Amino acid sequence: MTLEIIGISVLWLFLFLYVIVASIDFGAGFFNAYSAFSDKQHILTGIIQRYLSPVWEVTNVFFVFFFVGIIGFFPQTAFYYGTTLLVPASIALILLAVRGSYYAFATYGAKINHRGYIYMYGLSGLLLPAALSPVLAISEGGFMRLEGGQPSLDYWALFTSPLMWSIVVLSIAAVLYISAVFLTWYAWKAGDEKATQLVRKYALVWAGPTIVTATGIIFELRGHNPEHYASLLDLWWMFALSFLLFLGTVFLIWKKRNYGLAFILLVGQFFTAFFAYGASHYPYLLYPHLTIYDSFTNESMAIALIIAFIAGLGLLLPSLYLLFRLFLFDKDYVKGKSDYHA
């Protein structure tokens, strides 16, 4: 295993973790806003505040970890992606600010629960995946021009590309689906029957669009990037496994059984699909300009980063375990029986 592969695997794993935890966060905010809109408030608000408030900063760090890590391992990405993503990434930052400030001002602070704020917070959860996911489309190539050695984004090509829009739709559907499945489990653990039924319904509603758009993207790649499409097909068995896991989750949710297992299967479904997609993208970080080999940092930096990563994990894993034990797996806390907020 080369250093390049280790580096990209670590980053991809953290991006995957971000996709899962951020989806839960984004989707929950949207469901919260939706229930406020349709006057079903309070069913979800309590659950969201108990789960999301203590962990949202941790969620955000996964994102920071990814973009700091990719500059560390693959400094050339700063040149290509940094230059071209100025606008979309800045929009994403503003949206993240809306979410961060909601936690700061509305849940920690003076409990400003103005409706407009709840809607903005909820909407930002849908707009964020829409702002971030086009990067995946850009990485397929064809949307970036090099003019005088400087890369620039071809907005017209990007915004008229069906591939880009399918990726956006998939990201939104996946956010809502992942979030709904997790919240079904969490609400069930909290013993909140009404909330469980509500989010279970959402999970079933969003399962279909998720799988349909995901499949659609594979076929759109055939026209857009045949090379990538070919290597995707080589990994067909991983996508097949992912599909089976998907069926498992939907079955369990449908039958109202084993919500915990349903969520674990969902993580498995996304894990296999995410890594199959990542592996088929190999070795390109950006078709056709950038591969993990020509953009890689020097060897001594790579080794230093990997050592720092291992040491960091040694510190983090026990801490994360403690966090989850106290908030996610503590029955009294989940059920809202204990409130020890400062």
Partner 1 sequence: MALQSRILTLMTLSFHIIYATIGVGVPLMIMIAQWVGIRKNDEHYILLARRWARGFVITVAVGVVTGTAIGLQLSLLWPNFMQMAGNVIALPLFMEVFAFFFEAIFLGIYLYTWDRFEDQRKHFLLLVPVALGAAASSVFITIVNSFMNAPQGFDVLNGELVNVSPLLAMFSPAVPTKVAHVLSTAFMTSAFVLASIAAFRLLRGSNHIYHKKALFLTMKLALIFSVATAIIGDFSGKYLAEYQPEKLAAAEWHFETGSEAELVLFGVLDGEEPKYAIRVPYALSILAHGVPSGEVIGLNDFPEDEIPPLWIHYLFDTMVTLGMWLAFFSFVYVVGAWRGWSIVTKQWFRWLTVLSGPLAMLAIQAGWWFTEVGRQPWILRGYMKTSEGATASGQVDLMIVMFAGLYVILGIGTVVVLSRMYKRNPVEKELAQRESAKGGEE
Separation CA 229–CA 131 (nearest Å)? 24
Closest approach of Cβ 66 to partner 1, in Å?
9
Closest approach of Cβ 283 to partner 1, in Å?
19
Q: Which is nearer to partner 1, 101 or 197 (CB)?
A: 101
Q: Which is nearer to partner 1, 78 or 267 (CB)?
A: 78
Closest approach of Cβ 311 to partner 1, in Å?
8
Q: Which is nearer to partner 1, 97 or 212 (CB)?
A: 97
Q: Which is nearer to partner 1, 54 or 278 (CB)?
A: 54
Closest approach of Cβ 230 to partner 1, in Å?
31
Q: Which is nearer to partner 1, 55 or 136 (CB)?
A: 55
Closest approach of Cβ 296 to partner 1, in Å?
10
The count of C-alpha atoms lying within 13 angstroms of the C-alpha of 221, restricted to the half-sphere facing its C-beta, is 24
Contact 70, 11 (CB under 8 A): yes
Percent helix / strand / coil, the chain, rounded to 5: 80, 5, 20
Stated as kind and residue range, the H or E segment containing 290 is strand 290-291
Closest approach of Cβ 239 to partner 1, in Å?
32
Report DSSP state, residue 256.
T
DSSP string for 91-126: HHHHHHHHHHHIIIIIIISS----HHHHHHHHHHHH
Separation CA 328–CA 210 (nearest Å)? 26
Q: Which is nearer to partner 1, 212 or 322 (CB)?
A: 322
Instruction: Give the residue from 49, 50, 28, 44 showing the smallest Cα distance to 333.
Output: 50
Point out which residues bind partner 1 (CB under 8 A).
53-55, 57-58, 60-61, 63-65, 67-69, 71-73, 75-76, 78-87, 89-90, 93-94, 96-97, 100-101, 103-105, 108-110, 112, 150, 152, 297-298, 300-301, 304-305, 308-309, 312, 315-316, 319-320, 322-323, 326-327, 338, 340-342
- Phi and psi angles of residue 161, each rounded to the nearest 5 degrees, phi first: -90, 120
